Structure 1
Amino acid sequence: MKFTRLVFPGIAMIASSYGLARFSYGLLLPDINESLAMTEFASGVVSALFYLSYCFMIVISTVLTTRDGPRVMILAAGALAVVGMAIMSAAPSVWLLALGVLFAGGSTGLVSPPYGAAISLWIRRKDQGRANTWINSGTSIGIVLTGLGAILLTPHWRLTYLIYTVIALIVLYWSYRTIPKSEPDVYFDKGQLSLRGADTPGPLVVSSLVMGISSAAFWTFSRSFIETAGTYTNVQSSGFWIMIGLFGMVGGISGGFIEKAGLQRAFMTGGLSLSAASIILAVFPEIIWSSYLAAALFGASYIFLTGVILVWGIRVFYSNASLGIAIPFLLLAVGQVAGSPLAGGLIAFAGYKTAFLLFGLIGIAGSLVPTKERPQQYSETP
């Protein structure tokens, strides 16, 4: 299958589910809080529902992808993104907002494993790492779109989600037309979420969990932080979010970086950079250039790091690509489930600076986890 035929709609689907349906919540949170009268703790709890739904759906997706193939799960993910954002756009209360969040978060859980399987089926083996990391970087494109939407549509967060729903519907149709309907004569091992038979999964498990915790505060509360710390206009605070997305596109180089520098150096580079972003924002939140630097560093390092974890997972679970994505991404989300309400409670108790410093230190500790590499061999066919 032609590389671009799978990768381009894959980037769009990841942009739709991760960028629009999931991570836009943190950007639109100040306006949502004001409209629905939510506290910081309630905001953190609702944010955790994204990750909780993700955890549940990624288990389902891993098992069903190996049974039914990637097409069904990819289309189901697109449908959940559409339904979730439609509900959020019309939500009159926190409870209905939370329902929409559950659907939207579920779309991200469904979409990750099938793309790993699709790439392993239809992309040449030597190009698979590059395809995985570039599809993963679609999150950044979605984040850029959410930032532009916030500038143009603030404070109309309901209209913003409605427009995102239409975009997600278009992406769903594109995927429907491009993902192959027939499966090649290739079969995976049963997609059970088990660590048995994997190649040294322990470091991957620990690092994914810790990095999920470390990133949660920035995703959910960074825009709220800068708005309380400085005199930012709406355009400036939305520009902060756009910086996350723009520099997140740089994270697509992680596949090539791993091949040149090795998995250990790539993981440590991404983890330390992610931590530095939280610490910089904690120390200089009121200075626009430093907050933009933190946003750029966070965007690039988060997408880079998730690309590293994605490749690492596929190498650990080398007999099942969908499982190799599911395990680390599940644990990344579990860390974010714990991290979001923890960050909200810590902010209420000790303030933004303390919370962001602490989460940065957690990331530094996680980046020191050693990796184990399995020699890679490539051929012209998947």
Structure 2
Amino acid sequence: MRRPVLVLNCGSSSLKYRLVDVAERADVASGSIERIGSSASRFVHRDERGERSRELGIGDHAAAAGAALGAFDPPLSGRALLAVAHRVVHGGTSFTGPVAIDDGVVVQIRALGTLAPLHNGIDADVIDVARRALPGVPHVAVFDTAFHHTLPPRAFTYAVPREWGVRRYGFHGTSVAYVAREAARVIGRPPEELRLIVLHLGNGASATAVAGGRSVDTSMGLTPLEGLVMGTRSGDVDPALVEYLERVSGLSAHDVDERLNSGSGLLALAGVSDMREVHRRIAAGDARAELALDVYCYRIRRYVGAYLAALGGADAIVFTAGVGEHDAVVRARSLAGLAALGIRVDDARNAAHERTISPPGAEIAVLVIPTDEELEMALQAARLTSA
């Protein structure tokens, strides 16, 4: 009898869940709860009987987890689960791979909330609810930062006083691990032989240099704020910006941090955080939106160039996540002007959203690989539990 893995994936105001048949790499059931904390949270559940949705008030992630776990018919308690996989954003230096959850692990996850205050606490809350509801099932934590534990010191070290105890951690690791392995399958070569630049472009965005299946550099840092321009995050800025704004505008460090995370990026440049709306405004002649797209793509192009240097070349550049998978304009503009480096995009293939969007025989392949973080979580949990 096949035993599925339940995957619970928390966002700051959402919870996605999937019951995955790992052997078939297929969903048995899935669902999501959005706008957690609102009086009109949207709850969608899908199974063999179809999709059902409703709006209801869900005050916090613990309540959302309880609602998700109770949505299954027959109940989860009767399904002989192999494991429950939990996404945890920050593992610090303590967790470099998936781990079986016990009380001590939950304490450590909460303690690491100083590095991810918007995420680790709610991750731990959901873990607590699920462990109480499914006490006889192994629970596994899968960390966003874990894939990047292979960063060499030259890549993770900041040139700041050692006593500050800060370093680069990187994020989107679960997505990058899955996409890098899928890219190797598309290319038809072992991951150990490849040098890849993975561009995870969603509302959050990051670039990662992958050599031999291992992360060797990544754009996000101590927190997910550093690096590329994102939906509401600034990406790279001069750190002196904080003190400057305190001096000239009276903003506190907390105020600036909040604006850099929630009021910057495309939202600050174009007035909207969704790239689809940016394109609509460009079509209507909005110069601010045109500049926002230019800045967004230019920042990506800079990181591609930097990671070509870090890797000593590349076998492929891989686009993934919402914008990366669906936005042909961003893909083309992000790699424009790089033909001298062996990087070209075939316009017809790109417009058709093919898996390979570089011309035949290109020196560096350009790929579009849909990410599947929940499947990767299920696979990691299954491997750990089976071992």
Query: What TM-score does the superposition give when structure 2 sets the normalisation length?
Result: 0.27
- Structure index of larger Rg: 2
Structure with the larger RCO, 1 or 2 (CA within 8 Å, 6+ apart): 1
Q: Would you tell me which structure has more strand in proportion to its own residues? A: 2
Query: What TM-score does the superposition give when structure 1 sets the normalisation length?
Result: 0.27
Q: Would you tell me which structure has more helix in proportion to its own residues? A: 1
